[in-house]
Structure 1
Amino acid sequence: MSAQQINPDDALYVDMFIAKNSQTMTFIRSSYSAILGLAAGTLGLTNLSGFIFYFLGSAFLSVLIFLLKTKASPALFFRQPLDVFTEGVLGGLFSYILFWTLLYGIIHVYD
């Protein structure tokens, strides 16, 4: 018997695995957002520069996930391949703002 090759176009999505992938993506993004917020608060970024820092960091994380975790084929892990770049970005923004303002207030309050 020869082993059958699985065609990616015929791949079936299992809802449990899709949910687990989404949960993992949310955890990675929220953790990374907290780290970015700590960095932005420590650096003393304010206003637009702080938001640009977040979105550039989020884009960098998306590229890392695309290349390292999905090995440049996100269609095997998500129903929509663009979910790698969009899922959890705005949810992570709240964690980012929380840690950004916390560290900025602690470090730069007397500047």
Structure 2
Amino acid sequence: MSSSAEASAQLIYPQNVLANASLLNVKFISACFAGAAAGILGLSNLSGFALFLAATLLTSACIWGVNCKGKPGKYVHGGIGELVNPGQDNAFTFVLVWTLFYAIVHVYD
């Protein structure tokens, strides 16, 4: 006999899961734009990371409301936790773009 978790996993179509996971690439682009904005505005320390947190939450809310229609467990394999999770790659991308734009704009300050 299979457990209920195995039975529900068999109902998931792998191609749709991959297509829905590609929606999470929007969070990567959001991290890039948030890093550029933080660098151009000259934010430093916690104010820059607060902008990253706000951008991640706003992007997750947009994906939750528009693409997932309020039911992220049906469209994304991790549910709401996967939507809100910023991811290590996105955090590193944010810091990289933040320092790049900060150095370009504020080089002579």
Place the TM-score, normalised by the shorter chain, in its bin.
0.7 to 0.9
Structure 1 or 2: larger helix share?
A: 2
Q: Count matched residues.
A: 100
Aligned to 1:107: 105
Aligned to 2:49: 51
| Normalised TM-score (structure 1) | 0.80
Q: Unpaired runs of 5+ in structure 2?
A: 1-7
Bigger shift: 89-98 or 37-46?
89-98
Q: Unpaired runs of 5+ in structure 1?
A: 1-8
Aligned to 1:90: 88
Per-residue displacement from partner, 1:68-106 (whole Å, max 9, x unpaired)?
1111011221233122222x5332111111111111001
Query: Once the two structures are aligned, what percentage of the paired residues are identical?
Result: 29
| Normalised TM-score (structure 2) | 0.82
CA distance in 1, matches of 2:73, 2:28: 22
CA distance in 1, matches of 2:78, 2:100: 35
Which 4+ runs in 1 deviate beyond 3 A?
A: none
